Amino acid sequence: MTKLAFASAPCALATTAINAAIAEAKKHDWKLNVAVVDSGGNLVAFQRMDGAQLASIPISEHKARAAVNFRRETKVWENAIQTNGAHYVMTLDGMIGSRGGIPLVEGGKLVGAIGCSGGTGSQDEVACKAGVAAVQK
């Protein structure tokens, strides 16, 4: 999990995270949707890049909410399904088996998550990590 100063200014930090994720996506010409939620899974900020697929709007939010609810990166579920053959995890309510959802932690406390969708799972993950890194500075 990632540590940052989120609780004190969630909107400003959410915007910082989204801007960094989008800047990373632009470097690679990826068209993404990026969502940031608070610790309760409530949407704090969202941005859709020009040309990003509409179907990825709710997926980006779902990735962020799953990262908050399960307190782990969504990559864990992807690995469980694809690598470990743990197909039963697909029955868990609210789970999403795709990279691109990362929890945000401040002082050991879960404060939110970022979710990206519209590219491949690895592209979504790279953009999310850029967003997380931006708010850790």
Q: Is residue 79 part of a domain?
A: no
Q: Is residue 104 part of a domain?
A: yes
Domain count, the chain: 1
Helices (runs of H) and strands (runs of E) counted in the chain: 4, 5
25: three-class secondary structure by DSSP = helix
Return the pLDDT at 31.
Answer: 98
- The Cα 102–Cα 63 span in angstroms is 8
Q: Is residue 50 part of a domain?
A: yes
Q: Is residue 81 part of a domain?
A: no
Q: Is residue 90 part of a domain?
A: no
Q: Is residue 17 part of a domain?
A: yes
We report the CATH number of the domain holding residue 126 as 3.30.450.150
Q: Which residues contact 100 (CB under 8 A, 6 or more apart)?
A: 60, 63, 74, 115, 116, 117, 121, 124, 125, 127, 128
pLDDT in tens, 67-117: 999 999 999 999 999 998 899 999 999 999 999 999 987 777 888 999 999
Q: Is residue 83 part of a domain?
A: no
Q: Compute the radius of gyration of the chain from its Cα atoms.
A: 14
Domain that holds residue 37: 2-74+100-136
Q: Would the pLDDT of 2 be above 80?
A: no
Judge whether 46 and 36 are in contact, CB under 8 Å: yes
Count the alpha carbons within 13 Å of 20 in the hemisphere toward its beta carbon: 21
Q: Is residue 93 part of a domain?
A: no
Q: What does pTM read for this prediction?
A: 0.91
